[in-house]
Structure 1
């Protein structure tokens, strides 16, 4: 079946009826691995694992895998896993979450899913899969060298080395070549045979019996001992890398001929004959019948409906809702005004108490309490299994969270600094945010990612600890990004973020301004005007809800994060000079309610967007465009942004960023130019 699907996909592509022909030819031995597992064991599959999926489907009644896969090949809207969005191997009924072009990016979440199985046992049971499940993930020998694969292998081994349960089988399907680049002979085995924390097993993927033997042993170790196994399956790649790849351009004819002689279908036919299961004629007849059946079903599949509108394509970007899993709050709220870090800590403690499925993970968040003390004492209160100190690897931290979310938990992950996200952001873009989209809403990985970031912080410095590059977060479909400007809003946004993850299964990023974590004062030392009372457990700020300070009509400042704080400082000077203004706090940096923004500034003479992020690719571009689209005249709209620069160390750390002085200076100029205030009425300050 798998081989005929590969062959027929190429025929359909030539007719314009199929669109993705990377196939499984030569890797069909993975069917024996499927036979060694239970159909409830979650499987994160390599794109060459059609035989695995077909074999697993035989273990569950009522499956129609041939029809399902051909619908996927044809990008039909009736494809039961992706709804026509991609040719993927996946099935909700078979516990196979879909993967697309899996260049190792699925390995971190497989590690996280395996860790989550043990975590659920400590929490008293639950989750999407049986407690004694084994997680399997598969990948190629070329992907083995990817940093994401190495990070996942290291994280799994690191955890297992310390005794953490890790029931994981990682299958490397080694065909000896990555597109056109050969894998050095013996490289994979030499890299893994003595790797700490892992059991190494190998098998001949051309021999179904040898593969089945090794797979059974791998599953036995993982299931019984809760330890990770690296199963090294040697195989062969036939037909080139994909439909457009002409391997004769880089492989000698004798190499291609030798590979074809190692065809696992020929080896399997030999096994059947030697063991007296089928003779030569019966095998040939079975092969012919299956070919005809695939061709017949394909002609029906290609006529099924396709996605036709943007609304249909985007329908699964947002996951489906589910019932809330929150307990009533029984404690008391400390209403003492405090800065952002303190109120966030109180909110997180409350949330951990109210959501028993909530788990926190990140580097240094436990014993240390985080770099900035936001998670202090939480590990002592809730235990190291719910407040997890991770290794230093952002890819693995995010992958851990994705895997936990797959299995019914709600993780809150911490990335220490925004700049540290950039080496791992594909875990958000390519994995977390795409899962609902490519599974038609059947699979989700809800999570909240706390990221300390933006500029203006004192102490640490330079572009790795002051980073104002957020464009990558705003460019991911379905991802929500919140950014508080004060302690009370931080509580409201965090409590809403957790509700969104738990009830609406969303992926939410909470971008926390480092410079405001411990800031208490607004205008002068000791005034305590940037301390706020805890608004309590029911206070939530929904997506798109704006904040506003002041009601003046001369000027509206639209901003967020540190920009709100700086604008408040500038406003104290401007109002003393007779300028009536208002400050609009966005709070949410994605899914912005632009109609609400327009309504909040429409009656103001001038609008200034203060954006602490870089001028190119900044939020200000979207805001100005949206206001113009709603009819606001361009001469009323203005931007004050950071320069297109990295942030330096030392006293120059803020010179590329907006400042209170710059905001006040620009505001004066705008209202005077517009005639809202006569320059003579302004106080005689040097700035005026």
Structure 2
């Protein structure tokens, strides 16, 4: 039989017979009025679960993952304030409904049905996904996350304390707010969850404010993998820096009492707490899931006997808030109301075109207070003796450092964070002096955990900050790439631009480090970034370009709410010379603070008509050397520096190429590298003659062979001769 019908029938029969689960209900914490409201939220959540499955069978709904068995989360909502940001587990419809009740919202039933129907009128995703989330309810949308939302919850919680020092222009969280993130017992085993909880504990032990409530909804199973009895308690109750609370989440009275105690503790102490709630999973994992195909029927029936709605009615009757007849009436009327409202879903509009689907990938621009750049007096004070060197040629690392200074002077909401960025000044000295000049609240030395670094940035951006996180090496990004792909880049898409997490992610990147580190510190693969919709990828190759592009990247984040990945070629950080030792040909002077290089522009070097060399990063440096060598052979080439790798600056690039034959020099791998897109562009644009020179499909070696698999000056010259000679 259909488990939905079985659970429904059991509820009607057992309530009518006063057949409730055995146990005592704590009655002191909830007033009868609140208890009845909470029950109504639970019942609406259940009714929506039932209706979502009916809609799916009728072809009117497209994705179901229910909250039945987790209705106790309504109690958690009532224990929090509506302005406390909540990052929800996908089984927390009852929480969202209860929070809507708290705020007086009356359209939550229709809103959630529109989500089931993938309607363009769905107020959160506009029909792009069935997600929980609401801007007015302070619930950023999540998809079916497996703990990937925990790191950003830490970032949001940390931002509350930082905002007390200097409130960002676009801050949304109150000074005494807390954040909450909920997840299942199976998700607690994910490395992302373990890293986030560890980061929270580490932060608390340091005495840093982190008002965050973790809520683990323990239903004892992750699809078909059992959670050992006592596992969550044993693994979480003794964590240093983490206060542990537990309650029976099946009983909304008990859940509210524990949740209120936990939330109050977090709000007062400004430290993280862990609320462990016992729940059950009804109906199986998701819509078509036949739970009895992989669990014994007796176990399924035991969970069904612990239906949270039965516990709620038991408490309502015991407290005098409602009779069994009234409770059944609420249940039946809610089911009827939901079914009637769902009839309108058959004619609801849905997304049709690619343009409609993609409309929210790029966030909307937002109004920002005007700025005239850093105050000159403050600038002189902060830079000190460095100002005397502004007019002298400097390597890229120094110019990026100065640009970071100016950005932080101009925008008080900017925060730099990463491994060793503070006291040490970064692996390559790029963040030197920032910690001493701006303090630890704006230059944060983080744990050695890239997931936590990016999560910190995403969460802080939720509260109006402009984070500038650093990942030490491109290869290290792979430890945390889902924070970009699954979290940062999708937030605007799934919220129609209502929620955003602007940031500028700096990465020491690419190859050509002589004899250092092998492929862990010389990584020439950007494939993982190139196919993420909506992000901007920047790659400067000279110090002055780097400074101007970094300023533009911060502007894009601040004003256009974009996620920007800023790739800084490690090998070019200290580069001084171009053609001969001591010529200083690759150093530049520091551009004035108001100079920027706009997104979509390219760098053009030389007017040669024989060939256009299209490149970026270290390839630009090598191509300029090859350009000199080719001129000695009578071949006059123009070198075009892409600067912006995504979106590709197509218009500016093709204008710079003109009618020239093209050689693409790509220091990344032949497979998955930037050259693939550029070769396709040449075909689409009808370029008559073109070729590519790329790195081999190989990792990079340590020692003298560091460049053996990469393009070289000599290789570019040879490839150019071949293209020019036909």
Bin for the TM-score computed over the shorter chain: over 0.9
- Structure 2 unaligned spans of 5+: 1-43, 381-386
Q: SS state of the match for residue 98, structure 1? A: strand
Query: Are 1:607 and 1:637, in contact at CA under 8 Å, matched by a contact in 2?
Result: yes
What is the rounded CA distance, in whole Å, between the counterparts of 1:589 and 1:610 in structure 2? 13
Equivalences for residues 643-658 of structure 1 within 5 A: 643-658=696-711
Does residue 665 in structure 1 map to residue 665 in structure 2?
Answer: no
Does residue 572 in structure 1 map to residue 628 in structure 2?
Answer: yes
Equivalences for residues 379-398 of structure 1 within 5 A: 379-398=435-454
Report runs of 4+ in structure 1 exceeding 6 Å deviation: none
| Equivalent of residue 73 in structure 2, options 5, 30, 34 | 30
Residue number in structure 2 paired with 1:236: 280
Q: 1:501 to 1:131 in 2, by over 3 A?
A: same
1:544 shift after superposition? 1.3
Residue number in structure 1 paired with 2:680: 625
Q: SS state of the match for residue 464, structure 1? A: helix
What is the rounded CA distance, in whole Å, between the counterparts of 2:662 and 2:472 in structure 1? 34
Residue number in structure 1 paired with 2:244: 200
Q: SS state of the match for residue 56, structure 1? A: helix
Residue number in structure 1 paired with 2:364: 320
Structure 1 vs Structure 2 CA RMSD: 1.1
Query: Are 2:168 and 2:465, in contact at CA under 8 Å, matched by a contact in 1?
Result: no
Residue number in structure 1 paired with 2:130: 87
Q: SS state of the match for residue 302, structure 1? A: helix
1:19 shift after superposition? 1.0
CA deviations over 1:108-131 (Å, ceiling 9, x no partner): 000100000011112257621111
Residue number in structure 2 paired with 1:601: 657
Query: Are 1:2 and 1:50, in contact at CA under 8 Å, matched by a contact in 2?
Result: yes
Residue number in structure 1 paired with 2:22: none
Residue number in structure 2 paired with 1:614: 669
Query: Are 2:690 and 2:723, in contact at CA under 8 Å, matched by a contact in 1?
Result: no
Residue number in structure 1 paired with 2:466: 410
CA deviations over 1:477-523 (Å, ceiling 9, x no partner): 00000001110110111000000000001000000000000110001
1:61 shift after superposition? 2.5
What is the rounded CA distance, in whole Å, between the counterparts of 2:148 and 2:572 in structure 1? 34
CA deviations over 1:530-577 (Å, ceiling 9, x no partner): 000111111111111010101111111000000010011111111012
Residue number in structure 1 paired with 2:535: 479
Does residue 339 in structure 1 map to residue 395 in structure 2?
Answer: yes
Q: SS state of the match for residue 519, structure 2? A: coil
Query: Are 1:327 and 1:355, in contact at CA under 8 Å, matched by a contact in 2?
Result: no
Q: 1:125 to 1:483 in 2, by over 3 A?
A: closer
Does residue 309 in structure 1 map to residue 353 in structure 2?
Answer: yes
Query: Are 1:29 and 1:211, in contact at CA under 8 Å, matched by a contact in 2?
Result: yes
Residue number in structure 2 paired with 1:456: 512
Query: Are 2:516 and 2:703, in contact at CA under 8 Å, matched by a contact in 1?
Result: no
What is the rounded CA distance, in whole Å, between the counterparts of 1:624 and 1:594 in structure 2? 12
Query: Are 1:522 and 1:528, in contact at CA under 8 Å, matched by a contact in 2?
Result: yes
What is the rounded CA distance, in whole Å, between the counterparts of 2:133 and 2:698 in structure 1? 43
1:327 shift after superposition? 4.7
1:173 shift after superposition? 0.2
Residue number in structure 1 paired with 2:38: none
Q: SS state of the match for residue 277, structure 2? A: strand
CA deviations over 1:228-277 (Å, ceiling 9, x no partner): 00000011000000012111011111111111100001111111122222
Equivalenced residues, count: 670
Residue number in structure 2 paired with 1:684: none
Residue number in structure 2 paired with 1:77: 120
Residue number in structure 2 paired with 1:678: none
Residue number in structure 2 paired with 1:299: 343
Residue number in structure 2 paired with 1:104: 147
What is the rounded CA distance, in whole Å, between the counterparts of 1:448 and 1:596 in structure 2? 23
| Equivalent of residue 587 in structure 2, options 531, 536, 539 | 531
Does residue 437 in structure 1 map to residue 489 in structure 2?
Answer: no
What is the rounded CA distance, in whole Å, between the counterparts of 2:401 and 2:346 in structure 1? 55
Q: SS state of the match for residue 67, structure 2? A: coil
Residue number in structure 1 paired with 2:229: 185
| Equivalent of residue 15 in structure 1, options 53, 58, 62 | 58
What is the rounded CA distance, in whole Å, between the counterparts of 2:415 and 2:134 in structure 1? 27
What is the rounded CA distance, in whole Å, between the counterparts of 2:403 and 2:355 in structure 1? 37
Query: Are 1:45 and 1:137, in contact at CA under 8 Å, matched by a contact in 2?
Result: yes
What is the rounded CA distance, in whole Å, between the counterparts of 2:320 and 2:488 in structure 1? 48
Q: SS state of the match for residue 532, structure 1? A: coil
1:459 shift after superposition? 4.7
Residue number in structure 2 paired with 1:174: 218
Does residue 119 in structure 1 map to residue 159 in structure 2?
Answer: no
Once the two structures are overlaid, the 10-residue window that deviates more, 590-599 or 362-371, is 590-599
Does residue 355 in structure 1 map to residue 355 in structure 2?
Answer: no
What is the rounded CA distance, in whole Å, between the counterparts of 2:272 and 2:616 in structure 1? 45
What is the rounded CA distance, in whole Å, between the counterparts of 2:485 and 2:167 in structure 1? 32
What is the rounded CA distance, in whole Å, between the counterparts of 1:570 and 1:9 in structure 2? 63
Residue number in structure 2 paired with 1:682: none
Residue number in structure 2 paired with 1:497: 553
1:323 shift after superposition? 2.4
What is the rounded CA distance, in whole Å, between the counterparts of 1:588 and 1:4 in structure 2? 50
Residue number in structure 2 paired with 1:129: 173
Once the two structures are overlaid, the 10-residue window that deviates more, 658-667 or 299-308, is 299-308
1:596 shift after superposition? 2.4
What is the rounded CA distance, in whole Å, between the counterparts of 2:154 and 2:140 in structure 1? 14
1:588 shift after superposition? 0.4
Query: Are 2:243 and 2:272, in contact at CA under 8 Å, matched by a contact in 1?
Result: yes
What is the rounded CA distance, in whole Å, between the counterparts of 2:273 and 2:583 in structure 1? 59
What is the rounded CA distance, in whole Å, between the counterparts of 1:656 and 1:249 in structure 2? 52
What is the rounded CA distance, in whole Å, between the counterparts of 1:80 and 1:187 in structure 2? 39
Query: Are 1:412 and 1:447, in contact at CA under 8 Å, matched by a contact in 2?
Result: yes
Residue number in structure 2 paired with 1:224: 268
Query: Are 1:543 and 1:592, in contact at CA under 8 Å, matched by a contact in 2?
Result: no
What is the rounded CA distance, in whole Å, between the counterparts of 1:125 and 1:359 in structure 2? 11
Q: SS state of the match for residue 589, structure 1? A: strand
Once the two structures are overlaid, the 10-residue window that deviates more, 512-521 or 305-314, is 305-314
- Structure 1 unaligned spans of 5+: 675-688
TM-score (norm 2): 0.91
Query: Are 1:445 and 1:507, in contact at CA under 8 Å, matched by a contact in 2?
Result: yes
What is the rounded CA distance, in whole Å, between the counterparts of 1:459 and 1:353 in structure 2? 37
What is the rounded CA distance, in whole Å, between the counterparts of 2:89 and 2:549 in structure 1? 38
Residue number in structure 1 paired with 2:100: 57
